[in-house]
A and B are shown apart, each in its own frame.
Chain A
Amino acid sequence: MALKIVKGSIDRMFDKNLQDLVRGIRNHKEDEAKYISTCIDEIKQELKQDNIAVKANAVCKLTYLQMLGYDVSWAAFNIVEVMSSSKFTYKRIGYLAASQCFHESTDVIMLTTNQIRKDLSSPNQYDTGVALTGLSCFVTPDLARDLANDIMTLMSHTKPYIRKKAVLIMYKVFLKYPESLRPAFPRLKEKLEDPDPGVQSAAVNVICELARRNPKNYLSLAPLFFKLMTSSTNNWVLIKIIKLFGALTPLEPRLGKKLIEPLTNLIHSTSAMSLLYECVNTVIAVLISLSSGMPNHSASIQVMKYLGLLAMSKILKTHPKSVQSHKDLILQCLDDKDESIRLRALDLLYGMVSKKNLMEIVKKLMLHVDKAEGTTYRDELLTKIIDICSQSNYQYITNFEWYISILVELTRLEGTRHGHLIASQMLDVAIRVKAIRVFAVAQMATLLDNAHLLTGNVQRKGICEVLYAAAWICGEFSEHLDNPTQTLEAMLRPKVATLPGHIQAVYVQNAAKLFATVLKSQEGNTDSTAAQETSQLMIDRLPLFVQSANLEVQERASCILQLVKYIQKLQQKDVEIAEEVIALFAGELNPVAPKAQKKVPVPEGLDLDAWINEPPSESESEDEQPRAIFAKEEPKHSRPRHTEVDEKELAKRREARKQEQANNPFYIKSSPSSQKVYQEAPGVEHIPVVQIDLSVPLKVPGLPMSDQYVKLEEERRQKDRADKKKKEKKKRKEKRSGRGKRHDSGPESEEDITPAHMVDIVTEEMPENALPSDDDDKDPNDPHKALDIDLDKPLADSEKLPVRSHRAAEVLKSPAQDGDAESAASQEPKKKSSKEKREKKKDKDRDRKVRVTCLQHYSPPPSPANHTCLILSSTSRISNTISPSTLWVFDDKKSSKHKKKKQKKEKEEKEKKKKKKHHHHHHHSDGGGEESVQNGTVEEEEPLPVSRDGPDQVNDIQGNLQDGSQVVVSVIFENKCDSFLKSMEFNVLDSLNSKLQRPEGSGPHDGLTVPFQLPPGVSNEARFVFTMQSIITPQKLKGTLTFIVKDSSTHEKLDFKLHFTCTSYLISTPCYSDAFAKLLESGDLKCSSVKLEGVVMPFHHLLARICFRHHFSVVERIDSCASMYSRSIQDHHVCLLVKTSGQTVSIDAKCDEPTLLGNVLDEIKQTFSQC
C-alpha cells in the first residue's frame, strides 16, 4: 500500500503542471486546438487517478483552459472532490475552479452544502476564507437558505479576516434568499461599528448596495453613517457613504443641510480625486451648491470632462436651466475625438432640449451625422435625434413639417440599421398628427417616386424599411394626394418586386387603397376611359406580385387582382362603382397603446380557464364543422351592410375622439392669445393649415430642407411675438391684466412658443376601465425587488433563520408563547364548511389503517453525489448537518400498497377524507454544557415496518448526536387535512433503554403537549429529548399522537414508531492513516466480517453510499480496496476494510464493541440488499 502511494507521487512528478501546459500551448501556436485537446485527454486520465494531488493539478489546468473558452463543466464533480480535500493547497484550487465555472444550474452544487458548511466552521481561518470566497461566486438560493445561519455566525468570528468576508457575502445571500435579510440585519448594523476597518468597510459596502435599491428602508441608519463619515479615514468607505447619502437625501430633505459641513470639509481637505469627485457628485444630488460642481466641466483632462458631463446629467434632472446655459460647451463635446465623451454629451442633449432649442440642436446633430465616421456612431446619432424629437409624446416639436423633413433627410443616411425606426416614426406622426397628413403624404409620395435612390444600393438594405411607412401613408391617406395616379404607378413598378416581402405586401394592399381613390376621382369625370385605364394598369402589374415567393404578397395580390378584374367588368357595363370600392377601406385606423391589451380588465365572473362548453370528444362533429364555416361565411360578402356599420362606427368614434381630446393632457391646447381662433374651431378636420405650406416648395429628397424650417420658424416666432405684443398692448389699454409684461423685454419663455400647427397628437387607444398602473414598468425579474423589506419592524418568530442545531431545553417551552401566532393562523380555516368534517367522521369509524412513512427530504443523492460525503475534512470540529427526513402520518381507509409519491397524489385527489401528517425527524444531541454548534453529525437509515398491515416502509432518520446519553428528535407536524387540529399530544412508550424526557412532576406515561395548533396545510416543528442508556443495539419506540379535530371535538389517535438504528449513533469522524494504523495495531478491537453478493455499482459509489448512509469516512483508498473509519457517540471506534472483486464486496470490520459492530454490519448489508 505504501508503495502505491509512493508510486502515485512519483507519477505525479512527470505530470504536466499549469506552467507546462501554458508553455506547451505557447509552443504549439500553429495547432493550438489540437494540442489542447490532447491536454484535455491527459487531464481526463489524471482525474481518474485516486491521488488528490494529481486531481488538483488537473483541475488547476482546467481552470486555465476555462479562461481560454473551453467548457469544463464535465469535470464539475472532480472539482467538488478537490474542494473537499483536507489540504488547503488543493482546497483552494478546487474552490477557485468552482468559482470560475459553477453557476446556478450546475447540479453538483447541491452536493457541496455539507462540505462548505464544514469548511466554514474549520478551525483554520483560511479554509473558511477560501470557502466564503468560492461561495460568493456560486451561491444558489438553496445554498443561501441552508448556509445563511452559518454565515451569520461567522459575522462574529474572532478573526477580522473572516468577519469581513462573512459580512460581504451576506449581500449575496440576501439576494438569493431575501427572507434572511431581516434576521441578519441587526448584526450587519452592528458591524458598521466593528473595531476592524476592513469589516466596517465591508458592512458599509453591503448596506450601500442594499440601500441603493431601496433607500427608504435605510433612512434610519443615517445618523450612524453620519458618524462614520466624520470619523472614518478610509477613502473607500467615505466614497461609499457619500454615495449612499446621495441616494438618501432625495427622501429626507433635512439631511441635505446637515451634510453641507462635513462635505465641504472633505472637499477642502482630501487629496484623493475620487473622493472629491464623489463629494461633488453628492453635493449635486443634494442640490446644495451648483457652483462647486462647475469646476469639473472646464477641466481639460479627459477624465474630468467625462465625469463633468456625467455630473451635469445629474444636475439636469433637477436643475435643467442651469445646464442649458452650457449648451454650447456640450455641443462642443460632440466634436471630441473620444467617443465616450461624445455619447455622454449626446445623452445630456437629450435631456436639455426644449421647444425653443430643439430645432437648433437637431440641426447641429444633423451636421454631425453628415460628418460622422463609422456607422455605429452615426446610428447612435440617428437614434438620439429621433429619441430627442419624439420624447414625451413629441412634447418639444412645434413644427411637424420640420420633423417630417428631418426624417426624410435621415433616409439619405447610408448603411444605417435604423430604417424601421424612421419608418415607425413616420407612421406614428402621420397617424397621430392629423394636420400633418397632407404634408406627410406629399413627402411620402416623393419618397416612393424616388424609391430607386433608397433601394439602389445594396448597403442601404436597412433603409428600405422607410418605404414600408411611405407606402402605407400614401395608401391610407390617399385622399390628400395631389397626383394619386402617379403614385399608384410608382407603387406598381417592377422594381418593387426586389423589396423584402413584408414591404411588398404593404405596397400591394395600399395600391388597392390608392386605386379606390383614383377611381373615385376619375368617375366624377365624364370620360370613363381614364378609370378603365387605371384598372388596366392594375391588371397589368399585379400578376408580378401574384408570382411572389412571399405568401403574404401572393395572397393579397391575387385577392386584389380578382377584385380589380371584377371591377373592370362592371366598368365596362358603365356601372358606378367607386363608392363601393372606397367602402372597402372606410374607417379610421387608430393607434393602440402597446400595453392596451394587457390592461383590458377581466370582467367579473369571467373565468378564462373554464370550458365554455364541455370539451368535444375527439370523434364527434369533425365532418360537420367545415360545412358550418362555409354556411356562415357567405352572407358576409354583402357590401352595403358593411358600409352601414362603418358609418355608424365612424360617427361613434368621432364622438369618442372629441371626448378624448377634451380630457387629453397631451392635446396641445392653443395658447390663449394668437391662436385662439383655432381652438374655437369645432373639430380638427377643419383646422386651416398655416400659410407656411405655401412658402415651402416640396423638395425631392436628397436636398436638405429642414434648415428652411428653422428659418421660417424663427420668422414665425418673431411674428407671433410681434402679434402678441400688439395684443398685449391692447389688453393693457383695456386694463385687463399685466400678466404678459415680461414678454416685452426678456427672451421668450417656453410657454410662449406656439406650435406652428394646431396639432392634435392622438393618444394611443387604451381599453375602457384600464387601470392606471405604473407597475408594468418595473422588471419583475429584478432580484433587488425582493429585498425591499422593512427593516425596522421587530422580528417575528416565523422569520428566524433555519437553525441547524438546537439545545434540548428549547423543547420544553411553554405553549403559551406560540399562542399569538396560532390564534392568528386559526382565523381562516374556521370558515371551512363542516360538511367535510362530518364525512370524515364517518370514514373514521370504518377500519382505519395508520401508516407512518418517512421520506428523505433531499433523497439520497445519485451515486456520484455520495462521493462528496466521502472525503471529510481533517478538522476535529464537525459541523452539524441534518438532512431533514420526513415522516408522514395519515389515515387511510384504502389499501396501503402504494409507492410514496403515488400515495401523495392519490391522497390529494381524495383529500377530503383524509388527514395527513407530516413528521419530520431530526435527532439532536444535547449540547451538554458545550456549544451545540460543535455537535457531530450522524445520519441514519434503515427499514422500518411501522404500519399495522402495510408493507415495509423505508424510514430515513437523520440527526445529530453528541454525548452518549441524550438524543433530540425534532418532529415536523404537517396538517394535510382540511380541518383545524388542536390539543396535540405526543407520547412514546419508554423502554428500559430509552426514555422520553418529560417535564418534572409528570408521570412516566404522560404525553407531551405539542406546543402549537395546526391550521390546515400548516406545518410546525417540535423537539423531544430522549435519554439513551446503551447504543449498541438498534431500538424501536412505539408512540402515539393524539389530537382533536376542531368542530368534531373527538380525540383522534395516530400510532407511529420511532426507529433508532445503530448507525444513527455513529459520527463520521475523519482519521489520519497513521492514527488508523496505530488503532488497528493496538489489538483492542474485535473482528467481524460480512460478504455482499451481487453488488453492481462502481466502487466509489459503494464507498459513497457507506459514507453517506452509515456515517463513515474514508481513510485511504487504493484501487478496489478502501479503509474507513467512524466513531460512535460513546466513543467506540469502528474500522472497515472494504474490498471488491467483481460483484462481491467483502467488508472486514473491527470495533471495540462486537454487538454494535454486528448491528452496524447488518444495517450496511440491508442497505445494499435493497438496491
Chain B
Amino acid sequence: MIKAILIFNNHGKPRLIRFYQYFAEDMQQQIIRETFHLVSKRDDNVCNFLEGGSLIGGSDYKLIYRHYATLYFVFCVDSSESELGILDLIQVFVETLDKCFENVCELDLIFHMDKVHYILQEVVMGGMVLETNMNEIVAQVEVQNRMEKSESHMERMLLRRHLEPLSPHSHELG
C-alpha cells in the first residue's frame, strides 16, 4: 500500500499532497516539512530510498523518491510494494504528466493542482496502484477532460439562450 504521495519543490513548497491515511492538516504540514528536510539534504547521486521519517514512520514503511529538476516526487510505501516498481511508477506518473501538460514544468503543477490530482487518481487509487499503462492513463484522463469541456460548452449555450430577450420558458406556477 502507498501511504502518501508528496510533491514539493526544492524549497519544500508543497505542490501536491495526497495522504491515503488520515492526518490532521497541521500534522500533514509537519510531515511535509520533515520529509523535505530528509530528502533535500541528500545528494542526487545517492540512492532513492530513505527509511524513517518518524512521522510517517514505522519500520514497515520507507520513502521512495525521485528528483526532477525543481520537484521532488516522494512516495511513502510499506513493504508490500516493490521499491524499484515504485520508482518505475513515479517515472510513469511524471511521463504521464508530461504528456497531459505537454512539456510539464513546475508551473503546470502550481496552477493546475486539480488536474494533477485527476491524473494521479487514474494511477493510484486509495493507496493502491490502479494502472501502470501510460497510454491507458492518458486515454482515460482525456475522455474525462472532454466531458468537462462539453459540459462547460453546454452551459455557455444555456447562458446564451437565457440572455435572449424572450425566454420561452416560465417556471412560475399558474
Contacts and interface: CB of A to CB of B under 8 A. Distances in A.
Contacts of A340: 46-47, 49-51
A1073 B171 contact: yes
Contacts of B151: 87-89
A96 B114 contact: yes
A104 B25 contact: no
B159 A9 contact: yes
A310 B148 CA distance: 46
B52 interface: yes
Contacts of A1137: 172-173
B171 A168 contact: no
Interface stretch (A37-45, A129-137, A186-194, A885-893): A129-137
B117 A96 contact: yes
Contacts of B152: 89
Nearest to A198: B131
A236 B85 contact: yes
B129 interface: yes
A1078 B46 CA distance: 69
Contact of B29 (A5, A69, A126): A69
B12 to A, nearest CB: 12
A1 B140 CA distance: 38
B121 A133 contact: yes
Given A169-B126, A198-B136, A278-B82, A341 B47 contact: yes
B155 A6 contact: no
A228 to B, nearest CB: 16
A529 interface: no
A234 B155 CA distance: 42
Nearest to A278: B82
Contact of A136 (B49, B126, B129): B126
A1 B20 contact: no
Interface stretch (A300-308, A589-597, A971-979, A1042-1050): A300-308
A68 B128 CA distance: 25
Interface in A341-375: 341, 343-344
A306 B51 CA distance: 11
B148 A88 contact: yes
Contacts, number: 191
Interface stretch (A200-208, A691-699, A703-711, A960-968): A200-208
A201 B128 contact: no
Interface string B111-151: 11110011001000111111111001000100110011001
Interface residues of B, number: 65
Interface in B1-37: 1, 14, 16-18, 20, 22, 24-26, 28-29
A60 interface: yes
Chain B binding surface, main DSSP class? mixed
Contacts of B130: 164-165, 168, 198, 202
B88 to A, nearest CB: 6
Interface string A136-148: 1101000000000
Given A66-B25, A70-B25, A168 B128 contact: yes
A303 B25 contact: no
A306 B16 CA distance: 28
Residue picked from B20, B85, B117, B140, most chain A C-beta under 10 Å: B85
B80 interface: yes
Interface string B49-87: 111100000000000000000000000000010111101
Interface residues of A, number: 91
Contacts of A100: 18
A1077 B83 contact: no
A69 B28 contact: yes
Which residue, of A172, A208, A236, A1076, has the highest number of chain B Cβ atoms within 10 A? Answer: A236
Interface in B97-117: 110-114, 117
Contacts of B136: 198
Contacts of B155: 9, 53
Nearest to B7: A67
Interface stretch (A269-277, A412-420, A834-842): A269-277
Listed residue (A5, A67, A136, A1123) with the most chain B CB atoms within 10 angstroms of its CB: A67
Between B17, B18, B25, B88, the greatest number of chain A beta carbons within 10 A of the residue's beta carbon is seen for B25
Interface in A264-294: 272-274, 277-278
B49 A68 contact: no
A373 to B, nearest CB: 12
Contacts of A19: 111-112
Interface string A87-99: 1110011001000
Interface in A22-78: 22-23, 26, 53, 60, 63-64, 66-71
Contacts of B159: 5-6, 9
A1148 interface: yes
Given A53-B155, A70-B25, A161-B140, A2 B128 contact: no
25 contacts: A1-B170, A2-B162, A3-B162, A18-B112, A26-B110, A63-B114, A69-B29, A93-B114, A126-B143, A132-B125, A137-B20, A139-B126, A197-B133, A198-B130, A198-B133, A209-B80, A212-B80, A243-B80, A274-B83, A277-B82, A278-B82, A306-B49, A338-B42, A1074-B169, A1080-B171
Give me the 8 closest cross-chain CB pairs, A-B, nearest first: A136-B126, A274-B84, A103-B22, A1077-B169, A302-B47, A69-B29, A338-B46, A1137-B173
Interface of A: 1-3, 5-6, 9, 18-19, 22-23, 26, 53, 60, 63-64, 66-71, 87-89, 92-93, 96, 100, 103-104, 126, 132-133, 136-137, 139, 161, 164-165, 168-169, 171-172, 197-198, 201-202, 205-206, 208-209, 212, 234-236, 239-240, 243, 272-274, 277-278, 302-303, 305-307, 310, 337-341, 343-344, 1073-1074, 1076-1078, 1080-1081, 1087, 1115-1116, 1123, 1135, 1137, 1148, 1150
